[in-house]
Each structure stands twice: as C-alpha cells, then as structure tokens.
Amino acid sequence: MTRRRNFIASLAASAFALAAGHALAAPPTVEILAMPHPPVKMALAELRGWLAAQGTKLKLVETDIDSAQGEKRLAAVGLSGHIPVVILIDGQYRVKRQDGTMQAFVNFPAVAGTPPGARGTWTTADVQTAIAERLKER
C-alpha cells in the first residue's frame, strides 16, 4: 500500500512539475543582427514594429552586425562575410516550415526594391509565422 501511495504521490509531483515548467517556460528570444544603415533599417521597420507589439511574449535583442560583438555572434551561428541581416529565433537562423522545407532568415527580406544580390528568401510574414509557432509551443 505504501508503494502505491508513493507512486501516486511521485506521479502527481511529476505532473505538477511538467505543467509548471511549461507555464514558466522562457519566452522565445528573437535576435536581429543587422547593419545600422538606412536601407536595412527601412527593410526591417515592419518586422520591428510587429516585434515591439508582442510585448513580453518574447525577448528581443538587437546587435549591430558590423560591431565586434556582431561579428562574434555571426561566427557563433556559423555565418561569415558581408551579410546585412540575420534573424535568429532561439539562436537559430534556419527554421523548419510546416510544409517541411527549411527557411533561412539571412540577408534582406524578399521585398521589391531589394538588390538581387542581397535579397533573401524570407518575408516579414515568414518570421511572424515562425515566432507564432514558437509561442504556441510554450
């Protein structure tokens, strides 16, 4: 009888710990590594506005990619070279879409007016979707 009570008590404690851990999970961290130049600022204006509207649902970190800290962070995620923008979600610049394909948040967003050599394959909506999915997981 004691073994059964101990088992039930430990099962209840485990369930509580799992539920509390899920409820207390840290918000996703979104890092914007970007050049501080006007074209980059304009290209990210919509995304920055949306991120600001999320409030405490996420943690936002912005780093000048041209700074020593930015270059170090870029190298830490496995990238190098002249990259104007990298968006990291929980430390990853690549995310798996619901259709199973990988999406990389590197270079400018794919919007009209972006130079072809610096245009990435992502949009602000892609980043919003990836973050919304992370928020649902927590």
Interval 77-94: pLDDT, tens:
999 988 999 999 999 999
The reply to whether 59 falls in a domain is yes
Burial category of 32 from C-beta neighbours within 10 Å (exposed 0-12, middle 13-18, buried 19 and up) = buried
The reply to whether 36 falls in a domain is yes
Neighbouring residues of 77: CB distance < 8 A, sequence distance ≥ 6: 86, 88, 91, 92, 93
Give the residue numbers spanning the domain of 106.
25-137
Which SS3 state, helix, strand or coil, does residue 103 take? Answer: strand
The reply to whether 6 falls in a domain is no
The reply to whether 7 falls in a domain is no
Nearest to 34 by CA among 98, 129, 136, 127: 127
User: How many folded domains does the chain comprise?
Assistant: 1
The reply to whether 128 falls in a domain is yes
Output DSSP code: residue 110. Answer: S
pLDDT at position 53, please?
95
The reply to whether 15 falls in a domain is no
Low-confidence ranges of the chain (pLDDT < 50): 20-23
What pTM value is reported for the model? 0.78
The reply to whether 2 falls in a domain is no
- For residues 46 and 84, what is the distance between their CA atoms, to the nearest angstrom? 16
Strands 94-96 and 102-104, by their bridges, are antiparallel
Interval 15-24: pLDDT, tens:
565 554 444 5
Query: What CATH number is attached to the domain comprising 110?
Result: 3.40.30.10
